Amino acid sequence: MASVPAETTPTKSPKPVKPTGDTINTHKVRWTKARPTSQGRKLQLTWWSGVAPCTVLDRVKVKETRKSVKVTLYEGTAPKAKDVACIMIAVEKTTTVKLKTPLGKRKVVDGAKP
């Protein structure tokens, strides 16, 4: 039986990031996991992304209704990345958003999905 090299085994937890609000080439990004925290008053979102400053979180849009919470992540390139070369590697990132009302039984929807 072949063993998996240590370099390919993911060991780090997702990198916490905060929205910068000033990216260029901003676009929607799908998240992979949404976990309620703080008794459902917050959502911790996890997704795969690129390295900063070439790929940074611009903003998070949250739309709440009685039946669902739609969360859309927007990423782009930091303005200072104009003359920067970034390696092409996937980085797992996480951010936390506050909800207006606790999640309860509402469904969490990815706003980047068609």
Question: CA-to-CA distance for 34 and 96, rounded, in angstroms?
Answer: 9
Closest by CA position to 47, among listed 105, 111, 4, 98: 111
**51 within 8 A of 91, measured Cβ to Cβ:** yes
Question: CA-to-CA distance for 80 and 17, rounded, in angstroms?
Answer: 17
pLDDT digits (tens, 9 = 90+) for 8-38: 445 578 999 999 999 999 999 999 999 999 9
pLDDT for position 81: 85
Each domain of the chain, given as residue ranges in start order, spans 14-101
Task: Quickly state the pLDDT bin for 4 (edges 50, 70, 90).
Answer: very low
